[in-house]
Amino acid sequence: MLLAIVLTGSGSAQAQTPSRSELKKPLSEAVEKVLADFVQSCVPEKKKQLTAHMEEVINTISAKVGLSPDEKRTLHETAGKAVETTLKSWQPQAVLMMRTYLSRTSDSAAIRHIGMWKPEIAGPNEPVEDWTPPDETPEWLTAVKSTLGEARYTTWHEADLKNRLQVDKEISSHLERWLRESRGPMNEDLRAKIELMKKKLTLTDAQVTALDKAADTLLEQLSDAEKKRATSMLRTLPSSARENIMGRNYFYIRFDRPRGEAWEKLWEKAAATVLPGEQLAQWGKADREERSKAESDVADMIKPSEQQAEQQMEITMGAEIDGMVMALNLDKDRQKALEQLSKEAIQESLQQARKGWLQQVRNYSAAERKRIRGNIYFGVNEDMQAIKLPVWTEGIKKLLTEEERTRIASENKQREQRAGMAISRICLAEMDKMLALSSEQRTHLEPLLMETLHSLTDQRRQQYWSYNTSQLLQNAGKVKDEMTRAILDDVQLKHWKELVVSGSSSSRNTMPDINGTFPEVPDMEAAISQHLYKMFIAERSRTLASMMPHVEEASRLLSLPGPAVARLTTAAKGAVEISLAYWRQFTENFVRQSVQNTNSKNLLQALAGTTRANFSRNEVRPQNTELWQTALQTTLNSDQLKKLQQAADQRHEYRLRAMAEMCVSELDRRRKLSADQCVKIETAVRQVLAEYLPDIERYMSFQWFLQYYYALVPLAGVPEKDLQAILTPEQWKLCKERDLPDAMQYWEGIKNNHEQRMKQGAQANAPQILFNGGIMIDQ
């Protein structure tokens, strides 16, 4: 479920969301249009799913009570109509449901979220409230009853009812943890309230007992209502989608827990069934006093957020002012005026944000505030940032001339275009691993990707930005089919579609759930052997998939005859087998060591954990094996080999350029570089990457260039004198003070890797096992 993947785990500050009724209210016209267009794109996928579901229903009826060809035809016709009818009710409810995931304070953030969703995943799999599936519509049920007759219909209805009861039982079991964990904080808060009431009102034991019972009743009412809602959402999904969700360890839809005044009123109503009016009024007064005392605690909780937000905006605004001063050669007086305006804008931003933060903290119970104090950060909404407020935008009009503002706007636009091109090229470089593009194809695809990836450049304006490969590929998938068909051949087009659907250039993009329930195994050795075999098959498939583009490129580039392609294909498969020899040995040792202290009850869980490891074989890639190199030498002539090598070199250079542009784009964002400065620094960074890239990738993640924190690392490898010669004195001062220190810390380790590699030879890289970002070196 893409919506769950993208929109959960957003941080502690996001836990306090508005009520469901608030979240269902329409957003801005711009967001609503994008959302409606997305749901419309989901309709074909939903129709396909529901049509297949109804086919399954008809087959089940036929298997249970028997259907003649004419009866099947009648039901198929009715099923088609039922699907069309139900899609009309599903579509607006899908808009409403998906709306609840979106930011209500930033249109651009909401639109970015929608841009990350996939119709083929969200359409069939996203739970939706208040709609009727096709096999429950009156027209369908009437047709079934009329077609089957009373006797067969009764037989079928009883079987169907039994199945639905079983489904409800399974759903109820799946929701147990969701309900239990959602009730926990509410129960904790109610018991704290009752304890305070006992103290403030001098309650009798009988009253305390009655209040405990009232609290239990309130929790049951809330839980039952939410369970009914969740059950309805799951029950109306076709079985495959429902099983997909219930296969997860936890139901991801948010429990609609009442907060703030709504919560207080619910408890007052419950307490009113126990306490007389006088005591209830006394409690209301005491509760208000307690909440008033808590205001200082509430204010203290947001202070770290204020400080951090202020620091972040000061850095952002400082970089903006530095860029204006350098570009326009402003004097000290106008620079000071800009700095004063910046302070005013920052304070206005904080003042607006503070109101929302305070309300969020007030919605936490006292116990929750105590638990999360010091571990929560409230951010400033994108549209509330100082640089976007009228205080700044209107103030700039008074401090700068129209000509100056036009010049700054032009440079900012160029800067945005450079960032967009960098993101587009890095996306193409990632896709190029599978597509094996020509230089001409890359040139044609660049502007298309710049358009679809444009929304991601908004994120680059933030102090902290981060992308993942899936984001890039999903947005690349928005390029129109007719555009890609005009550029790619059939094989490349197939890979393109695979990439944009999977969201990864690697087939290993799912992780097993190690927190689920695992059965006991009767034969531990057999289970280990079977697990190793499955791991090998998956690794062989992934490695072959990454190797075949080499064959495909040779065939495409050199117009090879069938026998030559067949020879290289066979060699590629053999090279994959040879390259996996060390992998097999290492993986078996690793897996057996990992499970040596397990027993038959927890073996499968331990084995699932080993699957989460990612073994990187730098020195035994199939294309580096003697078998593959020999096949190339014996199949191709010298001119063909030279042409193939040139294509590989061009691809490598393109990738280095894209990485260098991402690095320079980040420095450009911070220091407002000129176009000429960008070109010079990019050249210097490319030289560093040409020498150090294997060491950077060994020391860090392979996508280091997709995070703001790591993007500047190669800059640390550029000699200081070269940077000083390119940057202005003020830019260099800030770069050295703010940008290079973190990069230099990493560079020391990278330099050590480089020196070791140079001593031992390019093939001496130690294999690595990666565990969620951590590295263990095989000695």
Question: Tens digits of per-residue pLDDT, 463-475?
Answer: 678 888 888 998 8
Model pLDDT, residue 740: 93
Question: Tens digits of per-residue pLDDT, 582-611?
Answer: 888 888 998 998 888 888 888 888 888 887
Q: Does the pLDDT of residue 130 top 80, yes or no?
A: yes
For residue 764, what are its two tokens? Answer: 């001496």
For residue 674, what are its two tokens? Answer: 């000129």
43 to 227, 244, 260, 744: CA distances (angstroms): 27, 19, 38, 51
Q: Looking at the structure, tell me whether residues 102 and 196 fall in a common domain.
A: yes
Question: Tens digits of per-residue pLDDT, 100-118?
Answer: 999 887 788 888 888 878 8
Judged by average pLDDT, the poorest of 256-270, 421-435, 642-656 is: 256-270
Average pLDDT, the chain: 87
397 to 322, 401, 618: CA distances (angstroms): 17, 7, 56
For residues 49 and 124, is the Cβ–Cβ distance under 8 A? yes
Residue 503 DSSP one-character state: T
Question: Tens digits of per-residue pLDDT, 174-198?
Answer: 999 999 999 998 999 999 999 999 9
Write the single-letter amino acid at 89: S
Q: Give one DSSP letter per residue of 11-23, joined into a string.
A: -GGGGSPPPHHHH
Q: Which residue, 346, 375, 400, sits at the end of a domain?
A: 400
Dist. CA 423–CA 466, nearest whole Å: 12
Q: In the chain, what percentage of residues exceed pLDDT 70?
A: 92
User: Which residue intervals of 595-637 are DSSP H helices?
Assistant: 603-611, 626-635
Judged by average pLDDT, the poorest of 167-171, 286-290, 337-341 is: 286-290
pLDDT band at residue 360 under the 50/70/90 scheme: confident
For residue 393, what are its two tokens? Answer: 């935008």
Strand order in 768-771's β-sheet?
614-616, 768-771, 774-777
pLDDT band at residue 10 under the 50/70/90 scheme: very low
Q: Looking at the structure, tell me whether residues 196 and 321 fall in a common domain.
A: no
Q: Which residue, 238, 271, 304, sits at the end of a domain?
A: 271
Q: In the chain, what percentage of residues exceed pLDDT 90?
A: 63
For residues 713 and 743, is the Cβ–Cβ distance under 8 A? yes
Model pLDDT, residue 620: 72
Q: Looking at the structure, tell me whether residues 221 and 120 fall in a common domain.
A: yes
Longest dimension (CA), the chain: 99
Write the single-letter amino acid at 752: N
Dist. CA 182–CA 563, nearest whole Å: 64
Write the single-letter amino acid at 243: E
Who has greater pLDDT, 61 or 20? 61
Residue 735 DSSP one-character state: I
Residue at 138 is within a domain: yes
Model pLDDT, residue 763: 46
Residue at 74 is within a domain: yes
The DSSP H or E segment spanning 614 is strand 614-616
Phi, psi (degrees; rounded to nearest 5) at 174: -65, -35
Q: Which of these, 166, 170, 145, lies nearest to 65 by C-alpha position?
A: 145
Q: Does the pLDDT of residue 163 top 90, yes or no?
A: yes
For residue 84, what are its two tokens? Answer: 């069309």
Q: Looking at the structure, tell me whether residues 339 and 392 fall in a common domain.
A: yes
pLDDT band at residue 764 under the 50/70/90 scheme: very low
Q: Looking at the structure, tell me whether residues 227 and 309 fall in a common domain.
A: no
Q: Looking at the structure, tell me whether residues 623 and 656 fall in a common domain.
A: yes
| Torsion sign over Cα 452, 496, 694, 770 | positive
Judged by average pLDDT, the poorest of 219-228, 285-294, 528-537 is: 285-294
Residue 506's CB is within 10 A of a number of other CB atoms, namely 15
Question: Tens digits of per-residue pLDDT, 645-675?
Answer: 999 999 999 999 999 999 999 999 988 899 9
Who has greater pLDDT, 778 or 46? 46
Model pLDDT, residue 766: 42
Residue 169's CB is within 10 A of a number of other CB atoms, namely 10
Residue at 485 is within a domain: no
List the end-to-end C-alpha distance of the chain, in Å, as a whole number.
40
pLDDT band at residue 504 under the 50/70/90 scheme: low
Model pLDDT, residue 484: 95
Residue at 389 is within a domain: yes
For residue 129, what are its two tokens? Answer: 């409230």
For residues 729 and 737, is the Cβ–Cβ distance under 8 A? no
Q: Does the pLDDT of residue 776 top 80, yes or no?
A: no
In this prediction, residues 348-363 reach a mean pLDDT of 89
Residue 566 DSSP one-character state: H
Model pLDDT, residue 66: 93
Residue 623 DSSP one-character state: G
Question: Residue 692, Cα to own-chain centre: how many angstroms?
Answer: 30
Question: Tens digits of per-residue pLDDT, 273-327?
Answer: 999 999 999 998 888 888 888 787 888 888 999 999 999 899 889 888 988 988 8
Q: Looking at the structure, tell me whether residues 73 and 103 fall in a common domain.
A: yes
Structural domains in the chain (count): 3
Q: Looking at beta carbons, which pairs linking 627-633 to residues 24 or more positions away fall under 8 Å?
A: 627/571, 627/574, 627/575, 627/578, 628/550, 628/571, 628/572, 628/574, 628/575, 630/571, 631/567, 631/568, 631/571, 631/575, 632/554, 632/568, 632/571
For residues 663 and 715, is the Cβ–Cβ distance under 8 A? yes
Q: What value, to the nearest 5°, has the Cα angle with vertex 687 and ends 681 and 688?
A: 90
Q: Which of these, 712, 777, 16, lies nearest to 362 by C-alpha position?
A: 16
In this prediction, residues 235-260 reach a mean pLDDT of 86
Q: Does the pLDDT of residue 7 top 50, yes or no?
A: no
Dist. CA 294–CA 290, nearest whole Å: 6
Q: Looking at the structure, tell me whether residues 593 and 708 fall in a common domain.
A: yes
Containing domain of residue 221, as a range? 2-271
pLDDT band at residue 262 under the 50/70/90 scheme: confident
Q: Looking at the structure, tell me whether residues 243 and 304 fall in a common domain.
A: no
In this prediction, residues 694-715 reach a mean pLDDT of 91
Q: Which residue, 242, 271, 300, sits at the end of a domain?
A: 271
Residue at 741 is within a domain: yes
Model pLDDT, residue 8: 33
Q: Which of these, 495, 429, 489, lies nearest to 651 by C-alpha position?
A: 429
CA atoms within 13 A on the CB side of 366: 15
Model pLDDT, residue 505: 53
Dist. CA 31–CA 388, nearest whole Å: 19
Q: Does the pLDDT of residue 413 top 60, yes or no?
A: yes
Q: Looking at the structure, tell me whether residues 265 and 343 fall in a common domain.
A: no
Residue at 471 is within a domain: no
Angle between helices 439-452 and 469-476 (to 10 degrees): 90
Residues 6+ apart with CB under 8 A from 776: 768, 769
Q: Which residue is it, tokens 């039994």?
A: 162
Q: Looking at the structure, tell me whether residues 739 and 596 fall in a common domain.
A: yes
| Torsion sign over Cα 749, 753, 758, 759 | positive
pTM above 0.75, yes or no: no
Residue at 114 is within a domain: yes
Dist. CA 93–CA 40, nearest whole Å: 12
Dist. CA 628–CA 567, nearest whole Å: 10
Question: Tens digits of per-residue pLDDT, 131-144?
Answer: 999 999 999 999 99
For residue 92, what are its two tokens? Answer: 């607006």
Residue at 447 is within a domain: no
Q: Looking at the structure, tell me whether residues 226 and 361 fall in a common domain.
A: no
Q: What SS3 class is residue 770? A: strand
Model pLDDT, residue 520: 83
Model pLDDT, residue 513: 52
